[in-house]
Amino acid sequence: MQPIPKLIILGRDGILNEFREDHIKAPEEWVAVPGALEAVSRLNHAGWHVVVATNQSGIGRGMIDMAAVNAVHAHMMSSLKALGGRIDAVFFCPHTPEEACDCRKPMPGMLLDIGRRYGVDLAQVPMVGDTLRDLKAAQAAGCEPHLVRVGRAAALDAAQVASLAEQVPGTIVHRDLLEMAVHLLERDHVLDSQSGVL
């Protein structure tokens, strides 16, 4: 029997890279959030599989085509590789909000697809985002919700963050993806210690 992979799902814009209101349309517009790529590398080295789930309505709006999306993701992957990290897969929704699809977050379709692809119980899978939409998608899919105070959440004050987190019970708030990765790795260590795994 194959072991169940340790899997984490990340939003892209605002979590891995700086958020842009006008969408990322070319590789040079993709700028990593400080510490985010190191966080992915640390998770990888601890045995975690990292998958991205991202809304990309710029495709549906005709602002970006698939060649550009692929070029942006190739740049992201090469930036990660330089630090010894990797993302296993990128799932994206190309639809506009008006299309009312089931894959655009806060709908859970993308996350459910990831769960099926990896054969994992999503209750064991952390989902990291920077918006209520991400947290709602995590909740709908049964993932463990995590909010990072970067990207769109960076402008929120403590009361606004608390209010947002209260809307999705169980949300854990972190300063950024690196702090979230440290939280996961420390939790892994405690669980391993309790089970006698060295």
Boundaries of every domain in the chain: 6-191
Q: What pLDDT does residue 5 have? A: 82
Q: What pLDDT does residue 20 have? A: 92
Segment 110-120 mean pLDDT: 96
Q: What pLDDT does residue 188 have? A: 82
Q: What pLDDT does residue 18 have? A: 96
Provide the mean pLDDT of the chain. Answer: 93
Q: Are 178 and 33 in contact (CB under 8 A)?
A: no
**H or E element in which residue 8 lies:** strand 6-10
Q: Are 68 and 30 in contact (CB under 8 A)?
A: no
- In angstroms, what CA-CA distances link 145 with 25, 133, 140? 28, 11, 10
Q: Are 111 and 133 in contact (CB under 8 A)?
A: no
pLDDT surpassing 90 at residue 4 = no
Segment 21-35 mean pLDDT: 94
Q: What pLDDT does residue 67 have? A: 94
> What distance lies between CA 165 and its chain's CA centroid?
17
Q: Architecture of domain 6-191 in CATH?
A: 3-Layer(aba) Sandwich (3.40)
pLDDT surpassing 70 at residue 194 = no
Segment 57-86 mean pLDDT: 94
Segment 59-72 mean pLDDT: 93
Distance CA 139, CA 123 (A): 10
pLDDT surpassing 80 at residue 190 = no
Is this prediction's pTM over 0.75? yes
Segment 162-179 mean pLDDT: 96
Q: What pLDDT does residue 2 have? A: 57
Distance CA 54, CA 10 (A): 8
pLDDT surpassing 90 at residue 196 = no
Segment 52-74 mean pLDDT: 93
